[in-house]
Amino acid sequence: MIAVMLADDHTLLRAGLRRLLEHADGISVEGEASNGAEALKLLASRPWDLLVLDMSMPGRDGVDLIRQIKRNHPELPILVLTMHGELQYAERAIKAGAAGYLTKDGAAEELVEAVRKVAGGGRYLSQSLAEDIAFERLGQTDSLPHLLLSDRELSVFQHLATGLSNSEIAALLFLSVKTISTYKSRILIKMHLRNQTDLVRYAIKHRLVDEKDTPNL
């Protein structure tokens, strides 16, 4: 039996994932967490066969959380399940230690297969992302400026794109307002954008955030 832990801040989504997995033979969801701190505490309480992790929970950056989990539990397979279908998110999650990456829009069709494969020591990438990688290798996305951002800059970028202020982002990431302001300026310079409105439009155009989560322009 594969002992799975779910970490996602959406209660209804966790319930749906639990039902989906527990209808499959040989899989048991034995724990749930709604943020990174809860996930770390629950992981330390007992052995697990697999962690299914949302990268966009409140609190610390998702890539940082993956790194921390792999430091504490190097043998634990991590399957990322996220709304972010952009290639650079998948690349950073995998470099941080994730063994699989699946977008939520493909979860119903692919989740059980992904869980079994990753828990068994394999790797899994959603079909849509596998296609994106093929096109990226042909050089079609080399010039996109957001690919120049660091992990932390990309995290700040994402929060800015949802309309959060510098102080709100600072509180979420446990950084000073001055540090966030520096990151914001650096992001705008790197991406050749004039202001946060341009940043939001860019994020929507390139599907880096869900449009319903962005401010009205």
CATH class of the domain defined by 145-213: mainly alpha
Q: Which of the four CATH numbers 3.30.70.3270, 3.30.10.20, 3.40.50.2300, 1.10.1040.50 does domain 2-136 have?
A: 3.40.50.2300
Q: What is the pLDDT of residue 57?
A: 82
Which pLDDT belongs to residue 149? 85
- pLDDT at res. 82: 85
Report pLDDT for 55: 85
Indicate the SS3 state at residue 53. Answer: strand
Mean pLDDT of the chain: 87
pLDDT for 136: 58
**Confidence at residue 104, expressed as pLDDT on a 0 to 100 scale:** 83
Distance from the first to the final alpha carbon of the chain? 50
* Contact in structure between 45 and 52 (CB atoms under 8 Å): no
Cβ atoms 5, 51 nearer than 8 A: yes
Contact indicator for 155, 57 with CB cutoff of 8 Å: no
Rounded to two decimals, the pTM is 0.67
- Residues 147-189 have pLDDT tens digits of 888 888 888 999 999 999 999 999 999 999 999 999 999 899 8
Low-confidence ranges of the chain (pLDDT < 70): 86, 130-143, 211-217
Task: Give residue 62's pLDDT.
Answer: 85
How much is the pLDDT for 60? 74
Q: Where are the domains of the chain?
A: 2-136, 145-213
CA distances to 39, 94, 119, 208 from 137, in Å: 35, 17, 28, 20
